[in-house]
Amino acid sequence: MPKILVADPIGAEGVQLLKTRADVDVKTGMTPPELLAVISEYDGLVVRSETKVTKEVIETAKKLQVVGRAGIGVDNIDLDAATSAGIAVVNAPTGNTVAAAEHTMALMLALSRNVPLAHQSLKSGEWKRSAFMGVEVRNKTLGICGLGRVGSEVARRAQSFEMRLLGYDPFVSPDYASRMGIELVSLEELLAQVDFITLHTPLTDGTRHMISCEQVAMLKPGARLVNVARGELVDEQAILDGLKSGQLGGVALDVFAQEPPQNTELVGHPKVVVTPHLGASTEEAQREVAIEASEQVLAVLNGEPARNTVNAPFVAPEVHAVLAPYVPVATVVGKLLTHLAEGQFLGITISYEGEIAEHDTRSLQAAVLAGLMEPITTGQVNLINAPVLARERGLNITEQHNTSAPEYSSIVSATIETSEGKITLAGTSLRNEPHIVKIDDYWLDIVPTTPYMLFVDNQDQPGSIGAVGMIAGAHNINISFMEVGRLALRGRAMMVIGLDDPVPSDVMAEIQGLGHIFNVRLAHLGSL
């Protein structure tokens, strides 16, 4: 049973789910040295934002297969180190979407109507109606930076308030934005027009301080800013200066560059509304993100693809349903190629035909490369780090897509080029199991269910199959299946034999010595 460490507080429902399929330790509030001292014991790690999963942690965690983030942001996890180590990083991007969107709207409304100041004034015994004149959000322009899940949900709610919507997101199509009722513009255009601006982008090198002195100066005087995403998206000194000058009419912050916040002048400013990182703090959100993260951690530990692997290509649910059956196909194609190819690897061409060619096939490319690299690489190789390992080895990777596949609904094929020549394998999925259907020009139908497979390039003539079978039987090597593909009657043929037992080198030499054998190769598939 795998062992999982829960290092930050998560919903009890998530912990209970983990305990159904794993040995779980809940140890929250650990210092970095304490985490380093125990992490080598665990196959899985679940965190929120408090625990820092550093390169040192990754390098120490020799058994670790997956890090689950109960939430969306993963800036507390060293993704490069995890990827190089073949550790999947999964998150829970949907569980707190509504909570974050609702909190954004709450802060925007509190800001527009001076709710915190009015609340505090009345609590202290004052009655100053005229001191807290607000503005309506109706007919105001809202600029939404980042049109992912949370930004899109904010847009839906803002429409009900009859706000005009502008959006900035370089990775969203104008058509998508238009369907959401959003006019897609540049950041500069957005800043110049908005009455309110909300931030919903991840923290990257490109988005850090995306709102700084320069951007504040571009705003309409009196514009109001709301940030429920990441504290470092804004330059806190720049927005404080903007408040002092009147360029900013108000700011609402749920997140800060340092938490708890260190800029007491900003926090205490009368035109600033603050909350202590409450964007995901609803009972519903905590339950959902805990369950979502836990489900994916268990999936990875069970050898299944996770929905939201951060350091692997994202696959939408509807696309996942199409591609998932072809991941084991691609893996076995890659693994067989490694055993069949002779000479120095130069490059690989991976081709996708049929329905799968219509989708993002990076997950299938990773599967082919994982199969290719696993037999020749020391250490863990999987869908996460296989592309990295291939690039490190200088392997030239080419992809081809063809939506037509006359023989099958979809086919994955790969051609490996070596110093000795080329070899091609193609496979498909039938009844949710991988089938190898072509080797070079030979059409066959092989279900790779045995630990060993013998590939015999031979002359098609009477007695050729029997001769190989006799040698196997004489050495107590059990044959599970046999398939033959040929190019012409009594011409060249490919014999593929599934074996339960290994074939010693002397037996290989005996088969090779038969007069009608051109070449014989053994593949050890292990567990597929």
Q: Which of 148, 65, 109 is nearest to 380 (CA)?
A: 65
What is the total count of domains within the chain?
Answer: 4
Q: Which helix (H) or strand (E) holds 26?
A: strand 23-26
**Whole-number pLDDT of residue 527:** 54
Flag whether 209 is in a domain. Answer: yes
Would residue 320 show up in a list of annotated catalytic residues for this protein?
no
SS3 at position 426: strand
pLDDT at 298: 96
Residues 149 and 60 grouped into a single domain = no
HEC readout, 495-512: EEEEECCCCCHHHHHHHH
- pLDDT, tens digit (0-9, with 9 covering 90-100), for 40-95: 999 999 999 899 999 999 999 999 999 999 988 788 999 889 988 889 999 887 88
Specify whether 320 is located in the same domain as 253: no
Tell me what pLDDT residue 316 has: 62
Alpha-carbon gap, residue 410 to 408, rounded angstroms: 5
* Of the residues 397, 430, 448, the one at which a domain ends: 448
Q: Is the same domain home to 136 and 230?
A: yes
Instruction: Report the CATH number that the domain containing residue 248 is assigned in CATH.
Output: 3.40.50.720
Tokens 């800043």 locate to: 191
pLDDT at 314: 56
Measured in degrees and rounded to the nearest 5, phi and psi for residue 211 equal -115, 100
pLDDT in tens, 108-158: 999 999 999 999 999 999 999 989 999 999 999 999 999 888 999 999 999
Asked if pLDDT for residue 107 goes beyond 70, the answer is: yes
> Does 388 share its domain with 508?
no
Is residue 358 helix, strand or coil? Answer: helix
Q: What is the pLDDT of residue 84?
A: 81
Cα–Cα dist 492/274, whole Å = 77
3-state helix, strand, coil split of the chain in percent (to 5) is 35, 25, 40
| Cα–Cα distance, 213 to 125 (Å, whole number) | 39
33 and 132 housed in the same domain: no
pLDDT at 528: 44
* Contact between residue 150 and residue 255 where contact means Cβ atoms under 8 Å apart: no
Selecting among 126, 162, 214, 259, the annotated active-site residue is 259
Whether residues 106 and 222 share a domain: the answer is yes
Give residues with Cβ within 8 angstroms of 500, minimum separation 6: 450, 451, 452, 477, 478, 479, 480
Using CB atoms within 10 A of its CB, is residue 150 exposed (0-12), middle (13-18) or buried (19+)?
A: buried
pLDDT at 280: 86
What rounded mean pLDDT belongs to the chain? 90
Which residue has better confidence, 406 or 412?
Answer: 412
- Say which amino acid occupies 328: P
Number of helical H runs and strand E runs in the chain: 19, 22
- Where helices occur in 180-275 by DSSP H, the ranges are 187-193, 213-218, 236-245, 264-268
**121: buried, middle or exposed (CB in 10 Å: 19+, 13-18, 0-12)?**
middle
Tell me if 45 is assigned to some domain. yes
- Residue 135's contacts (CB-CB under 8 Å, 6 or more residues apart) are 112, 113, 195
- Determine whether 175 is exposed, middle or buried from the number of CB atoms within 10 Å of its CB (0-12, 13-18, 19+): exposed
Judge if the upstream peptide bond of residue 260 is cis by omega within 30 degrees of 0: yes
Residues 222 and 128 occupy one common structural domain: yes
What's the confidence (pLDDT) of residue 174?
80
Active-site residue, selected from the candidate residues 103, 277, 307, 435:
277
End-of-domain residue from the set 385, 418, 448 = 448
pLDDT value at residue 416: 92
Domain-embedded: residue 210: yes
Which residue is associated with the tokens 């004034």?
121
- Give me the CATH number covering residue 403: 3.30.1330.90
List helix spans (H) across 39-113.
55-60, 79-84, 97-112
Residues 442, 487 contacting (CB under 8 angstroms):
yes
Residues 270 and 132 placed together within one structural domain of the fold? yes
What sections of 180-325 are H helices per DSSP? 187-193, 213-218, 236-245, 264-268, 283-301, 317-323
Residue 273 to residue 112: CA distance in whole angstroms:
10
DSSP 317-334: HHHHHHHTTHHHHHHHHH
Active site annotation includes 486: no
Examine the domain organization and report whether 50 and 65 are in the same domain: yes
The predicted model gives 8-29 an average pLDDT of: 95
Q: In what order do the strands lie in the sheet with 223-227?
A: 183-184, 164-168, 141-145, 196-199, 223-227, 248-253, 272-274
Residue 492 lies in a domain: yes
pLDDT for res 497: 94
Contact 266, 238 (CB under 8 A): no
13 and 154 belong to one structural domain: no
- Selecting among 200, 230, 269, 435, the annotated active-site residue is 230
Percentage, residues of the chain above pLDDT 70:
97
Instruction: Say if strands 88-91 and 66-69 run parallel, antiparallel, or are unpaired.
Output: parallel
Mean pLDDT of 416-423: 88
pLDDT for 201-254, tens place per residue? 888 777 899 999 999 999 999 999 999 999 999 999 999 999 999 999 999 999
Of the candidates 412, 432, 280, the residue with the CA atom closest to the CA atom of residue 359: 412
At 453, the amino acid letter reads M
**Count of CA atoms in the C-beta half-sphere (13 A) of 462:** 0
- Residue-range definition of the domain harbouring residue 357: 313-448
Condensed to tens digits (0 to 9), the pLDDT of residues 161-207 reads 999 999 998 767 787 889 899 999 999 999 999 999 999 988 877 78
Mean pLDDT value of segment 16-39: 96
User: Is the domain of 430 the same as that of 497?
Assistant: no
The domain boundary residue, chosen from 388, 420, 448: 448
Q: Tell how far CA 430 is from the center of its chain.
A: 26
- Tens-digit pLDDT profile for residues 452-511: 999 999 998 898 889 999 999 999 999 999 999 988 888 899 999 999 999 998 999 999
Considering the domain architecture, whether residues 462 and 355 belong to the same structural domain is answered as no
In the residue annotation, 59 being an active-site residue is answered as no
Identify whether 279 is part of a domain: no
d(CA 26, CA 254): 27
